[in-house]
Structure 1
């Protein structure tokens, strides 16, 4: 394994920045047949704590936002992109607040989005809206100390500096990187297990028992990809894993603990540094792995931020095109392995800017 390791992938950005929108921006319209509903829940894990500031902790408060296929109704109200954040007040969504589940839905797979370090759950709205319009229920999770969170009372909890990579660490050896991220990975995994417990309990009244909790997909970004890999390795309910520049933990990679189909996505700029680490996962695979190089993408291209703030993200690829490609990749992957619609994943997906190699 090379000692020169990925320099952008596991920096675990996005580190939060305050932006200012000059003009109103409409999110890209979903392509599926369903209207999209959304709702947000703030749950307290009484068994665990979170560090609010030095010397002060509280019970762990986890925020989960859902997007789902909804019943169309003339009385529906458009949802805010982020009702409590000043930075996104000019962003217009395609979702409707607290809409009813679409009557045509009989069984809907769940897809969990695991954000990167310092990233808010709603920054994956374009992807989430697309998946919901195709018939999936999507849950994006704000994890305390890992993500950037605004709670319903307006309190802001910033990412913990404890999980910010020390200077020079990303140059290797990679064993040090794996060791450093053990703690936040375990914290994030426990957060997701708590969220799944809550979803199981409220499935009846929130989703009319139509949510298929034995058929779960997970998409993780950056540190979220590592956490998503941990969840996939430990939960038999997860049937498909996708990550963007996030590699599962060391023991998961080398011991072949993931036994479901996986979609590994990485930008060209990062892949040349990360290839050995991806190979440690591919070489020990126990199911199909799609290794996907995204040409011209940046670390944050699968989030909405470059589309909303193009001046702050100077990636080679157009931000709208990057999101369109991203949502197609994820939709086709999860359709193939959660619903059984083989589509383009029976062969290498032929999309401009995408170099995909299928490892059986």
Structure 2
């Protein structure tokens, strides 16, 4: 018997008053609100574990400390890894305590979301060590990329995502439960249409990228200490096969890390603009750039201004040159370079937001594009895995060699072709 039929039978008065069709609609809405939102099941041969840890970077001052307060930079990270959970072990919550507050800001019920990683599960034994990927988010907590990280971990990668303190909206949480409220300086004014000059914004955001890149370098240092220690992941990380990736300004930070640190062998930029010097100098390492659709870089600048993407035509033109020019130089100077646009993707499509039960008023909904959330997860996961498989594990990756009929959303072309201005712009 269908659940809606049973509901009608249990509530004959409501059925009589509202009618069967209206009550069925109401039942379906209530059911959708109460049913869990389950992240996609990882497809790899491994189960997935998850742990978090905090540390202090004693070599750096906190860049976002209150005026007159000097103290070292404190950081936190989450790790996803191939695991062998004990029988009956259950996945942890999508958003552990502290991080649950972020779901109020992004307007969804965090307790409804189900992930797959098991907290503290033993590391899988078939391989002695696993390649490592470090990740830099932007504005969103690291946990809002869980579906992607679980998929990569299920295929044999250890993913370590740093939480850039003060950056997540509205709070950052440490593993020990401490909270830090968002501070606007940590995003360089990137959350609204800027009224500053383009030069001022470039300086502010380059400074943010520098902090984030140094956070990544500190994370790699900490992973080396964990590798040499006696904890859960000791001896299980292959830091000779280290890759980096990031989203938005985190993608810029990942590229800066690879430019500064020889330990990084390959890097992927997920829809990140280029504010720092790496966009001018290039990066002679394997580099993948994955893009959303960006109409603001294709349509005439006066239209972009009228759509409130930029404050002025002059700002639009300068930003287009900085972004598209930087992407093109990086692509041309990489060894080798890959440039892929995912049709229908918006800037937030690289997070879990397309899979979450977001309410209509959630700001993230405006930046999701038109692609289905599960399809985006599949396309993004497979392109990223192909890239790191090829350049960290010397494995075949035919998906990178040209257009695939199985991935019609993926457009492989140089950035200058993907973002060629429309006539008259």
Fold conserved between structures, TM > 0.5: yes
Aligned residues of 1:229 and 1:248 also touching (Cα < 8 A):
no
Aligned residues of 2:328 and 2:414 also touching (Cα < 8 A):
no
TM-score, with length taken from structure 1: 0.85
Aligned residues of 1:230 and 1:248 also touching (Cα < 8 A):
no
Note closer, same or farther for the CA distance 1:153–1:287 as it changes in structure 2 (3 Å cut): closer
| Number of equivalenced pairs | 335
Secondary structure in structure 1 of the residue aligned to 2:354? helix
* 1:133 positional shift: 0.3
Aligned residues of 2:48 and 2:150 also touching (Cα < 8 A):
yes
Write the mapping of 1:1-360 to structure 2, written as runs, cut at 5 A.
23-50=35-62, 51=64, 53=66, 56=69, 58-84=71-97, 85-86=100-101, 87=103, 88-116=110-138, 118-147=139-168, 148-152=171-175, 154-162=177-185, 163-165=188-190, 169=194, 173=198, 176-204=200-228, 205=230, 206-256=232-282, 258-270=283-295, 272=298, 273=320, 274-283=323-332, 285-310=333-358, 311=360, 312=362, 313-314=365-366, 315-350=369-404, 351-357=407-413
CA distance in 1, matches of 2:160, 2:284: 23
Unaligned runs of 5+ in 2: 1-32, 104-109, 299-319, 416-425
Aligned residues of 1:114 and 1:219 also touching (Cα < 8 A):
yes
CA distance in 1, matches of 2:90, 2:124: 16
Higher strand proportion: 1
Unaligned runs of 5+ in 1: 1-20
| CA offset digits 1:161-182 (Å, max 9, x no partner) | 1222496549975x55432222
CA distance in 1, matches of 2:175, 2:82: 25
TM-score, with length taken from structure 2: 0.73
CA distance in 2, matches of 1:97, 1:176: 43
| CA offset digits 1:243-262 (Å, max 9, x no partner) | 11114444222223x12111
When structure 1 is superposed on structure 2, of 39-48 and 349-358 the one drifting more is 349-358
CA distance in 2, matches of 1:37, 1:333: 23
- Return the index of the structure with the highest Cα Rg: 2
Note closer, same or farther for the CA distance 1:191–1:166 as it changes in structure 2 (3 Å cut): closer
CA distance in 2, matches of 1:137, 1:300: 23
Higher helix proportion: 2
CA distance in 1, matches of 2:85, 2:73: 35
Relative contact order higher in (CA < 8 Å, ≥ 6 apart): 1
